[in-house]
């Protein structure tokens, strides 16, 4: 990974995936005493970013002419996919 912001995005994705896994629905969607650090609009935006990153990670990974063989890229794509699926399970 040569992009310096990528490790921050991966760390935030790990943290929020665990938050989505461990937080019950009534607490996640509560309007008062919110423990969710993101607003619903921010959550949808984050899900769109994860979806796009997972899609392009997959497309680059299956291309026969791709040099997308660096170690950790498949794990990163799987992490973004996990975030999208956990977020979609909340709707």
Q: Does 1 have pLDDT greater than 60? A: no
Cα distances (Å, whole numbers) of residue 8 to 4, 31, 89: 8, 28, 24
Q: Is pTM beyond 0.75 here?
A: no
- Residue that is written with structure tokens 């990153």 in the block: 53
pLDDT tens-digit map of 40-85? 788 888 888 888 888 887 776 655 555 555 545 777 888 888 888 8
Give residues with Cβ within 8 angstroms of 88, minimum separation 6: 47
């Amino acid at each position: 990974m040569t992009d310096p912001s990528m490790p921050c995005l991966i760390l935030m994705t790990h943290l929020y995936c665990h938050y989505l896994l461990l937080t019950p629905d009534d607490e996640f969607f509560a309007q008062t005493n919110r423990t969710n650090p993101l607003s619903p609009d921010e959550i949808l935006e984050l899900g769109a970013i994860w979806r796009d990153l997972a899609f392009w990670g997959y497309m680059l990974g299956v291309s026969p002419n791709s040099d997308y063989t660096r170690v950790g890229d498949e794990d990163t794509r799987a992490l973004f996919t996990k975030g999208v699926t956990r977020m979609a399970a909340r709707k």
